[in-house]
């Protein structure tokens, strides 16, 4: 069977190789998450029924390889066989979108006035953003959401050793890899001060500073999305906001909270955002999630605080308007979020987290 694994497809896309990614899932499945730049044909039912004409309406160039994709890699094999029969070089993505969940790409974040280098590491299969910040020969990772080797290899390629690993909050949509990364790199785990996480960590309080090489990361308490949420300010240049402030919206206030608590969290989030909006307009905002699959374009997902102030409507509302809008727009809860929170509090990673983490992240309200 002509298949390729997710890492091979990831590297092809990263190299900019000519390839057509053909998504054969139903429109409903595709709506939750997709591979950036992929072509869609809603042929799922017909392929499953082994209709040999399922892809007949599709016209494809014969000189560009095709990678067929479905949910778990079975229906895409039927599709690739049909394309091969038409003389097209076709491969089926092993494990489908489930396996793609751990795919990633990177973008360098330009910070002209800081001596730090920042790499945005994007879990393209899910929308989680983490950051590797290096200065001299040291580095820190914020919100590790991928297997430790990704961060270790990137750090090594720049001549950095990872000395600190931070989370912005206790995540509900994916398993934090921070504890495991810290173990592999002999780094210290820093977490916002709270009493929920049950493995050893160094607690961060508002104003606490972590030095990396010659630069400083300062913790700013930013409750609202969750009670313990923190943002980290790098050299007064860039602010890593986790799920507090995104490029199109703000964090949802309801996870791990009752309806009444969600309303109280929305008030807290409003106060937090007012506090952040007082920072200089040139501060670069680096959020913890993206709301759409990020292309392999090496362009970082970031915006200045001044631009967000103008673009994000929610930031222009009064406190009561903000709270009412937020509670009226609460999106569906991430699948398995209670179990994910439990594992993040315990610091446990399970053997195969992909199924547990399946689905798009739903952390934002815009
Ligand atoms: Fe979150």
pLDDT given for residue 360 in this prediction: 66
Q: How far is the CA of 229 from the centre of ligand 1 (A)?
A: 9
Strands of the sheet containing 128-135, edge to edge, are: 105-109, 117-123, 128-135, 138-142, 161-166, 188-192, 202-204
Q: Phi-psi bin for 268: left (phi > 0), alpha (psi -120 to 50), beta?
A: alpha
User: What does the radius of gyration of the chain's CA atoms come to, in whole angstroms?
Assistant: 21
Q: How far is the CA of 109 from the centre of ligand 1 (A)?
A: 22
Q: 301: number of CA atoms within 13 Å, CB side? A: 28
Q: Are 160 and 137 in contact (CB under 8 A)?
A: yes
Q: Are 19 and 65 in contact (CB under 8 A)?
A: yes
Q: How many residues does the chain have?
A: 366
**Angstrom distances, CA of residue 318 to CA of 83, 130, 273, 307, 325:** 56, 31, 12, 19, 10
Q: How far is the CA of 171 from the centre of ligand 1 (A)?
A: 5
Query: Mind listing the pLDDT tens digit for each residue in 18-43?
Result: 999 999 999 999 988 899 999 999 99
Q: Are 184 and 232 in contact (CB under 8 A)?
A: no
Residues 71, 25: Cα–Cα separation, whole Å: 7
Q: How far is the CA of 185 from the centre of ligand 1 (A)?
A: 25
Q: How far is the CA of 290 from the centre of ligand 1 (A)?
A: 12
pLDDT given for residue 257 in this prediction: 85
Q: How far is the CA of 359 from the centre of ligand 1 (A)?
A: 14
Q: How far is the CA of 261 from the centre of ligand 1 (A)?
A: 16
Query: Mind listing the pLDDT tens digit for each residue in 110-154?
Result: 998 888 999 999 999 889 999 999 999 999 999 999 999 999 999
Strands of the sheet containing 230-234, edge to edge, are: 209-212, 215-221, 230-234, 238-242, 284-287, 303-304
pLDDT given for residue 172 in this prediction: 92
Tokens 């506090």 sit on residue: 275
Q: How far is the CA of 292 from the centre of ligand 1 (A)?
A: 16
Q: How far is the CA of 117 from the centre of ligand 1 (A)?
A: 25
DSSP class of residue 172?
S
Q: How far is the CA of 341 from the centre of ligand 1 (A)?
A: 10
Mean pLDDT score across all residues of the chain: 94
Residues 272, 287: Cα–Cα separation, whole Å: 15
Tokens 């398993």 sit on residue: 175
Q: Are 131 and 240 in contact (CB under 8 A)?
A: yes
List, as ranges, residues with CB under 5 A of the ion ligand 1.
Answer: 243, 363
| pTM recorded for the entire structure | 0.94
Q: Are 129 and 319 in contact (CB under 8 A)?
A: no
Q: Got the DSSP string for 337-359? A: HHHHHHHHHHT---S-TTTTT-S
> Could you read off the pLDDT tens digit of each residue along the chain, which spans 366 residues?
699 999 999 999 999 999 999 999 999 999 888 999 999 999 999 999 999 999 999 999 989 999 999 999 999 999 999 999 999 999 999 999 999 999 999 999 999 888 899 999 999 988 999 999 999 999 999 999 999 999 999 999 999 999 999 999 999 999 999 999 999 999 999 999 999 999 999 999 999 999 999 999 999 999 999 999 999 999 999 999 999 999 999 999 998 888 899 999 999 999 999 999 999 999 999 999 998 888 999 999 999 999 999 999 999 999 999 999 999 999 888 778 899 999 999 999 887 888 888 766 777 888
């Amino acid at each position: 069977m002509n298949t390729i694994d997710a890492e091979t497809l990831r590297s092809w896309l990263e190299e900019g190789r000519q390839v057509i990614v053909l998504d054969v899932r139903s429109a409903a499945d595709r709506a939750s998450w997709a591979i950036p730049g992929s072509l869609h044909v809603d042929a799922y039912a017909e392929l499953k029924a082994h209709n040999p004409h399922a892809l007949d309406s599709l016209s494809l160039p014969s000189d560009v390889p095709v990678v067929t994709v479905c949910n778990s890699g079975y229906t895409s094999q039927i599709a690739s066989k049909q394309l091969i029969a038409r003389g097209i070089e076709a491969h089926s993505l092993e494990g489908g979108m489930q396996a793609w969940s751990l795919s990633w790409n990177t973008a360098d974040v330009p910070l002209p006035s800081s001596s730090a280098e920042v790499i945005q590491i994007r879990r393209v299969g899910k929308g989680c953003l983490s950051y590797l910040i290096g200065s001299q020969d040291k580095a820190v990772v914020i919100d590790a959401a991928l297997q430790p080797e990704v961060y270790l290899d990137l750090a090594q390629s720049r001549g950095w050793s990872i000395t600190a690993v931070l989370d912005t909050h206790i995540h509900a949509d994916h398993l934090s890899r921070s504890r495991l990364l810290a173990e592999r790199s002999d780094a210290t785990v820093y977490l916002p001060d709270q009493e929920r996480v049950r493995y050893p960590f160094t607690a961060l309080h508002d104003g606490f500073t972590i030095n990396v090489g010659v630069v400083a990361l300062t913790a700013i308490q930013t409750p609202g999305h969750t009670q313990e949420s923190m943002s980290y300010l790098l050299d007064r240049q860039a602010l890593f906001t986790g799920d507090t402030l995104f490029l199109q919206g703000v964090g949802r206030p309801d996870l791990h909270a009752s309806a009444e608590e969600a309303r109280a969290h929305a008030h807290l989030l409003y106060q937090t955002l007012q506090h952040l909006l007082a920072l200089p307009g040139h501060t670069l905002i680096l959020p913890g999630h993206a709301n759409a699959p990020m292309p392999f374009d090496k362009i970082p997902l970031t915006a200045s605080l001044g631009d967000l102030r103008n673009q994000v409507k929610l930031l222009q509302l009064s406190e009561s308007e903000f709270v009412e809008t937020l509670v009226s727009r609460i999106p569906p809860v991430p699948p398995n979020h209670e179990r994910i929170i439990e594992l993040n509090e315990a610091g446990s990673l399970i053997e195969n987290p992909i199924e547990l983490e399946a689905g798009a992240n739903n952390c934002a309200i815009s």
